[in-house]
Structure 1
Amino acid sequence: MAKKLFTKFGLPLVGLACALLLWSMGVTALEKSTPIATAFAPLPTALAFREMLGGSDIWLHVVLSLQRVAVGLGLAIIIGVPLGVLVAMSKSFSGAAMPLFQLLRMISPLSWMPIAVMVLGVGDAPVYFLLTFAAVWPILLNTAAGVARLDPNWLLLARSLSATRSEIVFKVILPGITADILTGVRLAIGIIWIVLVPAEMLGVSAGLGYFILDTRDRLAYSELMAAIVLIGILGFILDYLARAAHARWLHVKN
């Protein structure tokens, strides 16, 4: 019992303690050559973090960022799942589209930033585009892989029972690949959260990316570091929720 508790809680705490120690050592090493580095030390960051959480502004930025993540992820699911099913079920479509998808997948979403602003203007629209573009590929590929792994006898049985194409998709394929879709969603969340901060530097007036730029311009470096820590914590929570949803689905399915 004690060993399990140490593995579950003790080891992560040890890892965090080591990270804090390395953080402090890094700041100490930079202090002589870069005096401003002291503002990035753990203690000033912790004080700024506490003060930041007590303010109302940061929560507005967090809510708007999470809203953008939800919209981008939702659009990626709406686009990626049908395309993934189509890729797996149609050899001709797969042969024509997959090389293009693989090419687009290898383009950094951030490289589209100038074009997104030029076409969509400033504001939320280019941010939604960049987040959707970043998130759609893991969802598409995991959906296609899930359909390819389905037992062909399920589809054969459905056809033998005169099931329509839509019934096969909605009652056989989608329930059978939900775990794969959730895996794609989890990967997409990790990618979308990384793209979010630079995407929110595209002329929006609120959001975590905007807040990072604002703290830099105000020379509030401890607050900047606190915002970086907050972004990491929020990302960890999102990934945890995605893992929990995946594990819960597998438990229900079994």
Structure 2
Amino acid sequence: MSTASHPADAGDTDGAAAAGTPNAPATRRLPLAGRLAPVLSRLGTTLLSVGLFCGIWEILWALDIADPKLLPPPHIFLGSFPEQAKFFNTAQRWQIGVGLNTGPSPQGAVLITILASGARVLVGLLIAAVLSIAIGVAIRYFAAVEKLTLPTITLLSPVSPIAWLPVAIFLFGIGNAPAIFMVVIALFFHMVLATIAQIDGVSRNLINVARTMGASKRQIYGRVIVPAILPGMLMVLRLNLFGAWMVVLVAESTGVGYGLGQVIMLARNTFNPSLVFFTIALIGLLGFLSDWVLRLLQKKLLYWVPQTAGVLRGL
């Protein structure tokens, strides 16, 4: 009996592989070691960069170039966590008759302080992002909104966030609200202008194709313009994340009973350089981690953007 079906069988095999069967090489996921290699490489580069900076600082201290009383080296202010952590109990210290050792443990006080500052940054950033993107789109969608709001936004955009601090205290008093207001007001005007710039930068070819296919103005904005500006707006959001951390520290130093900004002010008033640099290192770590989380969300949300694009480079 002849077996003339071999060519057909080979064709079927090729078709199955092309269709993406589990046996096809294209569908196989990289092994765990292959997926972890880029992550470990970036982690090693990060540690090398930070280690180089700390190493130069330590060398300057060892050569008596840096005064340890004014610029204590990393091994001093990072090596005494319990000693530094006890100063984070700022919420209890504002009460009359409450001592330094009253309240949560030093580790608990650090955690409460981090969560308080981080929550204010997150809430303020989300409010500013939603408002600014909505108003930026509305400015380009409605001519009347542009005429009524854009001149005022442009006028207030150069005003320093610190100038808004008395306004925040007048409106909201003492508490979380003025700190969140400061973050929102510091980011809002710049993000509105960034949204407008992103909309103006959308390719006219995309808009013309949508019009040719009969899309209405609302459909063009909802299905063409907004998806097109999301990569750029998320990059703007990442950049403003660092600004949010800066502003919340200023607000906490005067308008909130506890937070990382309050710890910085305590360190300044008591002339405690070790506490200053310990808090600075903690703020830097929090900013780095929050930016890393935002980059992961960016990578998941912008699934249609190639990973080689600039907006996702380095992830």
Tell me the TM-score normalized by structure 2.
0.66
Amino acid at match of 2:204: P
Structure 1 equivalent of residue 49 of structure 2: 12
Q: Which runs of 5+ in 2 are unaligned?
A: 1-36, 86-105, 307-315
| C-alpha contact (below 8 Å) 1:61/1:207 kept by paired residues | yes
Structure 2 equivalent of residue 122 of structure 1: 174
- d(CA) in 2 for partners of 1:29, 1:210: 27
Per chain length, whose mean CA-contact separation is higher, i.e. which structure has more relative contact order (CA < 8 Å, sep 6+)?
Answer: 1
| C-alpha contact (below 8 Å) 2:180/2:248 kept by paired residues | no
Assess, with a 3 A threshold, how the Cα gap between structure 1 residues 248 and 25 changes in structure 2: closer, same or farther: farther
**1:58 correspondence with 2:91:** no
Structure 1 equivalent of residue 159 of structure 2: 107
Structure ID, larger Rg? 2
**1:24 correspondence with 2:61:** yes
Structure 1 equivalent of residue 140 of structure 2: 88
Amino acid at match of 1:12: S
**C-alpha deviations, 1:49-88, integer Å up to 9, x for none?**
4655671101101111111011101110111101221333
Amino acid at match of 1:85: V
Structure 2 equivalent of residue 37 of structure 1: 70
Structure 1 equivalent of residue 225 of structure 2: 173
* Offset of residue 158 of structure 1: 4.0
1:149-188 equivalences under 5 Å are: 149-159=201-211, 163=215, 165-188=217-240
* Offset of residue 144 of structure 1: 1.6
Assess, with a 3 A threshold, how the Cα gap between structure 1 residues 64 and 159 changes in structure 2: closer, same or farther: same
Structure 2 equivalent of residue 137 of structure 1: 189
| C-alpha contact (below 8 Å) 1:88/1:94 kept by paired residues | yes
**C-alpha deviations, 1:14-72, integer Å up to 9, x for none?**
642455247637974446xxxx426x332320123465567110110111111101110
Assess, with a 3 A threshold, how the Cα gap between structure 1 residues 13 and 131 changes in structure 2: closer, same or farther: closer
**Cα RMSD over matched residues?**
3.3
Amino acid at match of 2:75: L
Query: Which structure has greater helix proportion?
Result: 1
* Offset of residue 123 of structure 1: 1.1
Assess, with a 3 A threshold, how the Cα gap between structure 1 residues 246 and 20 changes in structure 2: closer, same or farther: farther
**C-alpha deviations, 1:206-235, integer Å up to 9, x for none?**
211122223445555423321111111111
Secondary structure of the 1:56 match is: helix
* Offset of residue 11 of structure 1: 5.6
Amino acid at match of 1:183: M
Q: Percent identity?
A: 26
